[in-house]
Amino acid sequence: MLGFDHLQLQQIWWIIISLVGALFILMSFVQGGQTLLVTSTRSELEKTLIVNSLGRKWELTYTLLVLFGGAFFAAFPRFYATSFSGAYWVWMLILLTFVLQAISYEFRKKPGNLLGSRTYEWFLFVNGSLGLFAIGAAVGTLFTGGNFIINENNLISWSHPAHGLEALLVPFNLAVGFLVVFLARVLGSIYLVNNLSENGDLLERLRKSSFNNLLALLPFLLFILYQWLTMTGYGYTVNQEIILVKGKYFQNLLAMPLPGLGFLLLGLVLIVLGVILTRFTKSTRGIWASGPGAVLTGLALFLILGLNKTAFYPSRFDLQSSLTIENASSSLYTLSAMTLVALAVPFILAYVSYVWRLMNAEKISVRDVEDKESQEFY
């Protein structure tokens, strides 16, 4: 329909999904900022400042998560059927934490609420910590594999009674989970420094938080990079036979020098640069370095995961059940139709950028949260 063959469309949609996942990593500053309500504030006023800042953006994060899942469902339905029907306890846990997030922004300061504002603040902390940790662990399983089998009739069964929670027993998955949490706290700290007007010691605490959380994520990042260099990955032949390949992900980095290794290195440098600007200067623009850095790093992660004949969801139980962009995708017709619809995406992104600029035109100040008519999120 569009002049692309089936494999080209599969690669295009893996790149699109990778970009959506990378943008979600950027928007996780909302969840990271929510955890700072507990660890970096000293008064109700400071909490209200942070809630009003993050409250303008939390729906964008949730929308990207839903878009990521929806795009996966449409482009690679076999993955959706395998993971969401087999590892359902992990996805239920993630869903629960996002439900807690939604009701917390709605009811935190509603008159007469029975739980009190502090309970909702802890709900936001749970979403920003446990929720992101579970998402990170789920992403880790795309490298380490899940315990599923797909038989000759395309029936999917899960071989472990924990149905996804067993992922928490794999060190690599745990490392990815912690990395996502601390990176979100870094981004949350830097974003709030950019979005809040000067307010005593709060901004100084946030500046320190960005650096401290960068130090906290370094051990997990180094462990993950070491694993990528040495771990056995899952490739496949022209006959769709799944094979074990030592150092597969490192080979992918080298095989894709710009989108793989280049994006990864540049992304990490930009994240560190944003933290340095925030912690050691008076600049409030660190997010403009660390934000794109997070997107590039996430994009590199997903690209080396699914391209270059790599199984993006290996089976630990049955090697040949592993999923690739070729054996898990929709039909040529479906992908072609989806690609036509996707031509509208740049216009949607332009609109989101315009709205974002309007919302961030002025920094949030104490005066804003003290004026009851301007309060939107409590």
| Tens digit of pLDDT at every position of the chain (378 positions) | 567 889 999 999 999 999 999 999 999 999 999 999 989 888 888 888 899 889 888 888 888 888 888 888 889 999 988 988 888 899 899 999 999 998 998 888 777 777 888 899 999 999 999 999 999 999 999 999 999 998 877 788 888 888 888 888 899 999 999 999 999 999 999 999 998 876 668 999 999 999 999 999 999 999 999 998 889 999 999 888 999 999 999 999 999 988 889 999 999 999 999 999 999 999 999 999 999 999 999 999 999 999 999 999 999 888 999 999 999 999 999 899 888 887 777 777 787 777 777 777 667 766 666 665 445 554
Burial class (CB in 10 A: 0-12, 13-18, 19+), 230: exposed
**249 three-class SS:** helix
Residue 229 and residue 143 in contact, taking contact as beta carbons nearer than 8 Å:
no
179 in any annotated domain: yes
- Report, in angstroms and rounded to the nearest whole number, the Rg of the chain calculated over CA atoms: 21
Q: Round to the nearest angstrom and report the end-to-end CA distance of the chain.
A: 50
Cβ atoms of 17 and 77 within 8 Å: the answer is no
Q: What is the pLDDT of residue 368?
A: 62
Determine, yes or no, domain membership for 1: no
Per the CB < 8 A criterion, the answer to whether 126 and 93 are in contact is no
102 in any annotated domain: yes
Write the DSSP string, 214-232: HHHHHHHHHHHHHHHHHSE
Residue 235 lies in a domain: yes
Quick one: pLDDT at residue 272?
Answer: 97
What is residue 374's DSSP assignment? G
Question: How many domains in the chain?
Answer: 1
Domain assignment present for residue 366? The answer is yes
- Around Cβ 232, how many Cβ atoms within 10 Å? 12
Q: Which domain holds residue 168?
A: 6-374
Closest CA to 237 of 306, 303, 311: 311
Q: What is the pLDDT of residue 346?
A: 79
Whether residue 39 lies inside any domain: the answer is yes
**The pLDDT of residue 198:** 66
In this structure, the number of other CB atoms found within 10 A of the CB of residue 237 comes to: 9
Q: Residue 78 half-sphere exposure, CB side, CA atoms within 13 Å?
A: 23
pLDDT of 167 reads 87
Q: Residue 298 domain-assigned?
A: yes
Count of alpha carbons within 13 angstroms of residue 252, beta-carbon side:
31
